[in-house]
Amino acid sequence: MYKLIDGKAHSEAIRGEIRERAEKFKSTYGTDVGLAVVLVGNDSASQVYVRNKIKGCEQTNIKSFAYYLPEDATQAQVEELVSELVENRAIHGILVQLPLPAHLNAENILKLIPESKDVDGFCEQNIGNLCMNRKCLVACTPNGVMKMLERENISLKGKNAVVIGRSNIVGKPMAMLLLNADATVTVCHSKTANLKETCQQADVLVAAIGKAKFVTEDFVKDGAVVVDVGMNRDENGKLCGDVDFEHVKNKCSYITPVPGGVGPMTITMLLYNTVTAAERSAELG
Ligand code: NAP
């Protein structure tokens, strides 16, 4: 019988810990933990994400600073705002909601955020430190996966882990985290030969592909831990993952559902990174 990994329950428990840390920060240093969220334009999905991030801040006693710029904001306007936030000592984390409107150069904007305030864990220094297995701010989705595995007491040492997907924000940092946790890691992508056979070797299989129900039961070894990062719509418009959950679940020891698995952890790890960034900045004085 498989065990469902309940991302909502883990997320709530972690938010409780973050709230305590944020309260302790305020009582120690007399100032709130602060997160700045920058939204440029009118993308409706981005507006929902930003609203949920602000709500997450309210739940965890983190002060949010929301900045809404119009769709036609110039590169200079966005850069000027981000540069001000970098200098603002009340702000410990800066999040620029992606995607930005097409006329803006996202790379040049994100480059302005120093590693100490890069709560998305996207900047080169944070990625480099992750590769070196040093203290850093880690990309939220893969870090959320690690937290769930840790809280379920799933040991990774010496295990075969297979990650399907090599994006900079999910697949690559996921692989690095698993490697740092002493798993033997294989990273697969669209050009991988023998994908199914490779996945069949996995004790831990992480799917981060973006294709509805792509991972079928013949990909999965008996007793495997299956983590589904995907967020897709099925043929009926219903939210589903990259894993064909109904057919795969009975082969697994543990599996994450969609919705209610990895998804709820992502914003929680953003809040976790923000309180961590605040504590580290205070330690540095
Ligand atoms: P992405 O940038 O599109 O990357 C997808 C990866 O999957 C690529 O590396 C691609 O290979 C690989 N891939 C595509 N088709 C494949 C195939 N047929 N066989 C093997 N590999 C294949 O996507 P992403 O940003 O990493 O996101 C992945 C999924 O996670 C999406 O469904 C996204 O919505 C979801 N997501 C969820 C959360 C959350 O909070 N739950 C957060 C972020 C992302 P190539 O590199 O060769 O093209």
Domains and CATH numbers, the chain: 30-114 (3.40.50.10860), 140-263 (3.40.50.720)
- Ligand 1 atom 19 nearest Cα: 190
Would you say the CB of residue 143 lies under 6 angstroms from ligand 1?
Answer: no
Instruction: Compute how many other C-beta atoms are within 10 angstroms of the C-beta atom of residue 57.
Output: 26
Instruction: Compute how many other C-beta atoms are within 10 angstroms of the C-beta atom of residue 129.
Output: 17
Three-class DSSP category at 285: coil
Would you say the CB of residue 261 lies under 6 angstroms from ligand 1?
Answer: no
Q: Please give the pLDDT value at position 284.
A: 83
Please state the φ and ψ torsions of residue 9, each to the nearest 5 degrees.
-65, -45
Q: Does an H or E element contain 63, and which? A: strand 63-69
- Concerning whether 221 is annotated as a catalytic residue, the answer is no
Annotated catalytic residue: which of 53, 63, 213, 249? 53
* Eight-state DSSP code of residue 17: H
Q: What is the residue-level pLDDT of the chain in tens, covering all 285 positions?
A: 899 999 999 999 999 999 999 999 999 999 999 999 999 999 999 999 999 999 999 999 999 999 999 999 999 999 999 999 999 999 999 999 999 999 999 999 999 999 999 999 999 999 999 999 999 999 999 999 999 999 999 999 999 999 999 999 999 999 999 999 999 999 999 999 999 999 999 999 999 999 999 999 999 999 999 999 999 999 999 999 999 999 999 999 999 999 999 999 999 999 999 999 999 999 887
Instruction: Compute how many other C-beta atoms are within 10 angstroms of the C-beta atom of residue 8.
Output: 15
- Concerning whether 53 is annotated as a catalytic residue, the answer is yes
- Concerning whether 77 is annotated as a catalytic residue, the answer is no
Please state the φ and ψ torsions of residue 4, each to the nearest 5 degrees.
-80, 130
Distance CA 274, CA 285 (A): 17
Global pTM reads 0.97
Pocket test for ligand 1, best of 98, 140, 176, 209 (most atoms within 8 A of CB): 209
Q: 64: closest CA among 78, 53, 79? A: 53
Would you say the CB of residue 265 lies under 6 angstroms from ligand 1?
Answer: no
Annotated catalytic residue: which of 6, 32, 97, 159? 97
Q: Which two tokens stand for residue 98?
A: 């992606």
